[in-house]
Amino acid sequence: MNAPVPFPHSSAEVVSFDRAELGAILSLYGRMVAAGEWRDYAMSFLPEVAEFSVFRRTAEVPLYRIEKRPKLRTRQGIYAVLGGEGQVLRRGHDLAAALRVLEKPLRPID
Protein backbone atom coordinates (compact mmCIF):
# COMPACT_ATOMS: atom_id res chain seq x y z
CA MET A 1 0.00 0.00 0.00
CA ASN A 2 1.33 3.42 -0.96
CA ALA A 3 1.60 6.22 1.58
CA PRO A 4 -0.64 9.23 0.89
CA VAL A 5 1.07 12.09 -0.89
CA PRO A 6 0.70 15.39 1.01
CA PHE A 7 -0.91 18.29 -0.79
CA PRO A 8 1.82 20.68 -1.93
CA HIS A 9 1.67 24.04 -0.22
CA SER A 10 3.77 27.10 -0.23
CA SER A 11 6.08 27.66 2.71
CA ALA A 12 5.58 31.42 2.43
CA GLU A 13 2.56 32.92 4.15
CA VAL A 14 0.23 35.04 2.07
CA VAL A 15 -1.01 38.54 2.81
CA SER A 16 -4.77 38.87 3.24
CA PHE A 17 -7.39 41.40 4.28
CA ASP A 18 -8.86 40.99 7.75
CA ARG A 19 -12.60 41.07 8.40
CA ALA A 20 -12.76 44.82 9.11
CA GLU A 21 -10.70 45.71 6.03
CA LEU A 22 -12.79 43.47 3.79
CA GLY A 23 -15.96 44.93 5.32
CA ALA A 24 -14.87 48.48 4.44
CA ILE A 25 -13.93 47.48 0.90
CA LEU A 26 -17.14 45.51 0.28
CA SER A 27 -19.25 48.35 1.71
CA LEU A 28 -17.77 50.74 -0.86
CA TYR A 29 -18.12 48.08 -3.56
CA GLY A 30 -21.82 47.60 -2.74
CA ARG A 31 -22.51 51.34 -2.96
CA MET A 32 -20.74 51.59 -6.31
CA VAL A 33 -22.60 48.55 -7.70
CA ALA A 34 -25.90 50.11 -6.60
CA ALA A 35 -24.88 53.32 -8.41
CA GLY A 36 -24.16 51.31 -11.57
CA GLU A 37 -20.45 52.22 -11.61
CA TRP A 38 -18.90 48.83 -10.81
CA ARG A 39 -19.98 45.35 -11.76
CA ASP A 40 -17.43 42.71 -10.74
CA TYR A 41 -14.41 42.17 -8.52
CA ALA A 42 -11.50 39.79 -7.99
CA MET A 43 -9.21 39.17 -5.05
CA SER A 44 -5.60 37.97 -5.06
CA PHE A 45 -3.60 36.92 -2.02
CA LEU A 46 0.14 36.61 -2.59
CA PRO A 47 3.21 36.52 -0.29
CA GLU A 48 3.91 40.24 -0.78
CA VAL A 49 0.47 41.77 -1.44
CA ALA A 50 -3.27 41.30 -1.04
CA GLU A 51 -5.21 42.87 -3.89
CA PHE A 52 -8.90 43.69 -4.47
CA SER A 53 -9.54 44.56 -8.13
CA VAL A 54 -12.70 46.31 -9.34
CA PHE A 55 -14.13 45.92 -12.84
CA ARG A 56 -16.80 47.73 -14.83
CA ARG A 57 -17.29 44.58 -16.95
CA THR A 58 -15.94 41.11 -16.30
CA ALA A 59 -13.80 40.87 -19.43
CA GLU A 60 -11.99 44.19 -18.96
CA VAL A 61 -8.87 45.23 -17.14
CA PRO A 62 -9.51 46.47 -13.58
CA LEU A 63 -10.72 50.04 -13.11
CA TYR A 64 -9.08 50.21 -9.69
CA ARG A 65 -6.93 48.02 -7.46
CA ILE A 66 -6.86 48.25 -3.69
CA GLU A 67 -3.59 46.85 -2.35
CA LYS A 68 -2.33 45.92 1.09
CA ARG A 69 1.47 45.66 1.35
CA PRO A 70 2.61 45.08 4.95
CA LYS A 71 6.28 45.68 4.08
CA LEU A 72 5.44 49.36 3.37
CA ARG A 73 3.96 49.83 6.87
CA THR A 74 6.84 52.01 8.04
CA ARG A 75 7.23 53.97 4.80
CA GLN A 76 4.47 55.19 2.47
CA GLY A 77 1.70 53.21 4.14
CA ILE A 78 0.31 49.73 4.03
CA TYR A 79 -2.65 50.56 1.71
CA ALA A 80 -2.69 51.88 -1.84
CA VAL A 81 -5.46 52.60 -4.34
CA LEU A 82 -4.25 52.30 -7.92
CA GLY A 83 -5.94 53.38 -11.14
CA GLY A 84 -6.48 51.20 -14.18
CA GLU A 85 -3.10 52.05 -15.69
CA GLY A 86 -1.19 51.52 -12.43
CA GLN A 87 -1.06 55.14 -11.29
CA VAL A 88 -1.17 55.59 -7.51
CA LEU A 89 -4.33 57.52 -6.62
CA ARG A 90 -3.85 57.42 -2.85
CA ARG A 91 -1.51 55.71 -0.42
CA GLY A 92 -1.67 55.66 3.35
CA HIS A 93 -1.71 53.95 6.70
CA ASP A 94 -5.52 54.13 7.09
CA LEU A 95 -7.72 52.08 4.73
CA ALA A 96 -10.79 54.32 5.14
CA ALA A 97 -8.76 57.40 4.20
CA ALA A 98 -7.27 55.65 1.17
CA LEU A 99 -10.71 54.49 -0.01
CA ARG A 100 -12.11 58.04 0.07
CA VAL A 101 -10.50 58.70 -3.30
CA LEU A 102 -13.05 56.27 -4.80
CA GLU A 103 -16.14 57.59 -3.00
CA LYS A 104 -17.23 59.92 -5.78
CA PRO A 105 -16.73 58.48 -9.25
CA LEU A 106 -14.71 60.67 -11.57
CA ARG A 107 -16.64 61.71 -14.67
CA PRO A 108 -15.32 63.47 -17.76
CA ILE A 109 -16.15 67.16 -18.08
CA ASP A 110 -18.12 68.05 -21.19
- Give per-residue pLDDT as tens, 48-58: 999 999 998 76
SS3 110: coil
Q: Return the number of other C-beta atoms located less than 10 Å from residue 77's C-beta.
A: 17
* Rounded CA separation 17/2 (Å): 39
Assess contact for 12 and 18: CB atoms under 8 A.
no
Parallel, antiparallel or unpaired: strands 64-68 and 40-45 = unpaired
Parallel, antiparallel or unpaired: strands 79-83 and 64-68 = antiparallel
Q: Is the pLDDT of residue 108 over 70?
A: no
pLDDT of residue 91: 93
- Give per-residue pLDDT as tens, 79-106: 999 998 889 999 999 999 999 999 865 5
